[in-house]
A and B are shown apart, each in its own frame.
Chain A
Amino acid sequence: MSIAVQHQDESQLLHRLQAGHADAFHEAVRTYTPGMLAVARYYTDPSSAEDIVQDSWVSVVDAIRQFEGRASLKTWLHRIVANRAKNLLRKQGREVTMDFADALDPALAARFKPNGRWAVPPRISTVESAEALLENGALSECLDKHLAHLPENQRSALLLYEAHQRRSDEVCNILDVSASNLRVLLHRARQKIFLMVEQFQETGEC
């Protein structure tokens, strides 16, 4: 779908939302809620995240009439969720803490010798294409499982990065994270998936 068509679709949906059509909200909930949950999960546990997203949607029913379209609808919704989640954390006296010490996942870092060469090299000699890998249903399930087990901040960073067409500036803005820290979150998540695929190809087990 071209960007122009997306914009047209979004502005039509926006008009119907601002007019208070229930069917427009029905559609918007299904389009935007997964991304909104990813934002909330960056800050808090799954059940609190669902509550935050629900409260956000209820507030949107009124606030949408003031929405002027300076940001995309998606970005605007994500910011509403992020602000709610941050306020809640502040009230509870908690903060999001992260470890950005190294750009290498510990399990991967352990596979190098002190001199910087591979001690335990990648175990796959012939690399299958991603398309071929995706046709393997068992690997797909395994991937789902591992994505679910990624640290919340890594997974949210990953999902939002894709949801915002890889625009780092928007993701940094929503999550309140620096560009370099966002890169570290992305790298670490990718390395974890690398390790998972490697093990799956070698053992056939998840």
Chain B
Amino acid sequence: MLMCRELATKASEYLDDRLGAGERLSIKMHLLMCRRCRAFVGQLRNSITLMEAHSSQRLAPAYAERLDHEIQRALANASGDNPG
């Protein structure tokens, strides 16, 4: 019989559909009977969705401009090395 702690350990693999048929079935059986683990898995699924929405990071404009500047210098050097 699968315990709640073990289910929590495997929940992430379960949500990514990376478990074998046997393990998947025993988790489904447990979830049918256990309201607490249902709440856990539901909220973990939400957490994953929330992080996806936030995983595109913003780039600090000042740093992007610093990179533009360094790249322009490197481009100028490169064209100086190989005229034409």
Main secondary structure of the interface of B (DSSP, over half): helix
Chain B neighbourhood of A159, CB < 8 A = 55, 57
Chain B neighbourhood of A38, CB < 8 A = 57
Bound-state CA distance A189–B64 (Å) is: 28
Interface residue count on the B side (C-beta < 8 Å): 43
Residues of chain A touching chain B, judged by Cβ–Cβ distance below 8 Å, are: 20, 22, 25-26, 29-30, 33-34, 37-38, 50, 53-54, 57-58, 61-62, 103-104, 108-109, 112, 115-118, 121-122, 124-125, 127-130, 133-134, 140, 143-144, 147, 158-159, 162-163, 183, 186-187, 189-191, 193-194, 197-198
- How distant is A107 from chain B, measured CB to nearest CB, in Å? 12
Chain A neighbourhood of B67, CB < 8 A = 29, 33, 53-54, 57
Question: Can you show 21 pairs from A to B with CB atoms below 8 A apart?
Answer: A20-B79, A22-B75, A29-B64, A30-B64, A33-B59, A38-B57, A54-B67, A61-B71, A104-B9, A112-B4, A116-B6, A121-B36, A127-B43, A129-B46, A130-B45, A134-B53, A143-B51, A159-B55, A191-B12, A191-B44, A197-B46
Asked whether B57 lies within 8 Å of A25 as measured between CB atoms, the reply is: no
Chain A neighbourhood of B5, CB < 8 A = 104, 109, 112, 116-117
- How distant is B9 from chain A, measured CB to nearest CB, in Å? 5
Asked whether B74 lies within 8 Å of A58 as measured between CB atoms, the reply is: yes
Bound-state CA distance A125–B43 (Å) is: 10
Asked whether A104 lies within 8 Å of B75 as measured between CB atoms, the reply is: no
Bound-state CA distance A130–B54 (Å) is: 12
Q: A118-B36, A134-B53 are known contacts; what are 4 more A-B pairs with Cβ within 8 Å? A: A26-B68, A34-B57, A108-B8, A128-B46
Bound-state CA distance A5–B67 (Å) is: 27
Bound-state CA distance A195–B41 (Å) is: 12
Query: 0/1 per residue, B21-63, Cβ < 8 Å to A?
Result: 0000000000000001101101111111111111111110001
Chain B neighbourhood of A191, CB < 8 A = 12, 44
Chain B neighbourhood of A128, CB < 8 A = 46
Asked whether A193 lies within 8 Å of B59 as measured between CB atoms, the reply is: no
The answer to whether A127 and B55 touch (CB under 8 A), given A25-B71, A58-B71, A58-B74, is no
Chain A neighbourhood of B51, CB < 8 A = 143, 147, 158, 162, 189-190, 193
Bound-state CA distance A191–B74 (Å) is: 44
Asked whether B75 lies within 8 Å of A122 as measured between CB atoms, the reply is: no
- How distant is B62 from chain A, measured CB to nearest CB, in Å? 11
